[in-house]
Amino acid sequence: MDKIQEKEKIEFLNFISEVISKPEMYLIKRRIDYLNTFIDGYLFGRKYSFSLNLNLKIENWLFNKYSASLNNSLISSRGLLIRVFGNDEKGFKAFSDFLEIGLDQNNNDNLEDSIAEDKHNYQNIIRNYGVRNQDKLSYESKKYIENIRNQYEISKSLEARCEILLSIIETIVGDFNEIKVLICCSEYYMQIHFTFLRNNIWFHDEDFIGKEEMKFKMIVLHSYVQLIFACEKEMSLVTLHKEKEKNLIIDCEEMNDDFAVNNYSSHFVSFQDVYSNWRKDN
């Protein structure tokens, strides 16, 4: 990025930070969907020379920090941000955090494929080996996914496939004595969190999900979860609980997901609200 582009980027960030700090001056209401529309209009009219790749960078940030991802392209990653945090104050705070922290975590203007596209590719491997750019995968990666695929083909029941899901998590965190998993999943987006007991100490996924060496396995984990849970438009809330030498406990329920593709309602329970309540109970 040359000096002119860098200057333009700083100008843009400073202006959007001002909009976030004083939304009443620029927006109809203090809502993230209105902020998104404002940013799109501003960028279209301003015609900066730099390429911001805002949606892809938000998608990467949400995945690496909050283990949230898109399941298809019907909504943008800024729509996913609304689903994770809500459409009001928490969403504004998250967007501000992204501008301060997440935007500079990947300064490469030529970003790689989106997390959603990577997930789609890995799902194709698990189902039928057909994947675009499969030659880019390392030998170890191919063997890793091939093993998951072989288990997926054999395991038809939900319980068996959830056991495979736990084995994927074990490759990320190592051995555990007890584990609890929270999955919020719909046709459009998903978020996964887990906490596990090892040596009488409880660990949480925040210690693992942001590590670069874990990114591949986390994408595979999201891919696999989407395969077995994201079949309906309704939001599913799934919890798993497994202790060593005991049977896996699976609890599935539907949530009233008011956040449809074209509905940016602020009246829904966000992913982070669900996660916070789950953490209090665990």
The three-state secondary structure class of 242 is: strand
CB 116 within 8 A of CB 73: yes
Select from 154, 155, 55, 70 the least CA-distant residue to 115: 70
- CA–CA distance from 282 to each of 176, 180, 192, 241 (Å)? 16, 8, 15, 11
> Domains in the chain, ordered, with CATH?
3-68+76-104 (no CATH), 115-281 (3.30.500.20)
Residue type, 23: P
Per-residue pLDDT for the chain (282 aa), expressed as one digit of tens each?
577 777 887 888 888 888 888 888 898 888 888 888 898 888 888 877 766 778 888 898 999 999 999 988 778 888 889 889 988 788 888 888 888 776 665 555 444 568 888 888 888 888 876 555 566 677 788 888 888 888 888 888 899 999 999 999 999 999 999 999 999 988 888 999 999 999 999 999 988 888 888 889 999 999 999 988 865 567 788 999 999 889 999 998 877 655 443 444 555 678 888 898 898 887
